Amino acid sequence: MIALDTNLLVRLLTNDDARQAAKVEAWLSDNATPRSPAYVDHVVLCELAWVLERSYAYGRTHVHQALSALLEHGQLKLESPGLVRQALLHYADGPADFSDYLLAARTQVAGCSTVLTLDKKAAKAATHSLLR
């Protein structure tokens, strides 16, 4: 299995560089299948959400759609897809960033009751607590 870097998924989703996007699509067609997918790590998903929001001005709905599409992409295997889905559910209507919700999902599995943070926006989520 081969892991994909964030920049490949940015090209694939935004098509901001048609030549590079075509290279990514061609590589996926030639090298990734449902039986032998390309791997997408949680770090890559967090970076991707951040880049789409900050650099491409994608709104929350558009980022949610993009990440959800990756979950359904037959040539990709996302790390812990159930946790990604859980994070996306909270992200859809919540105040925090996608990475905050993915962290919360991961830490709940580890037995944590909350994520302690100094981030006031993230602390508005039920999964986080503000350090006072």
Q: Return d(Cα 51, Cα 14) in angstroms, integer.
A: 11
Contact (Cβ atoms closer than 8 angstroms) between residue 38 and residue 28: yes
Distance CA 24, CA 78 (A): 17
pTM exceeding 0.85: yes
Instruction: Kindly report, residue by residue over 49-94, the tens digit of the pLDDT.
Output: 999 999 999 999 999 999 999 999 999 999 999 999 999 999 999 9
pLDDT of 79: 97
Q: Express each pLDDT in 3-54 by its tens digit.
A: 999 999 999 999 999 999 999 999 999 999 999 999 999 999 999 999 999 9
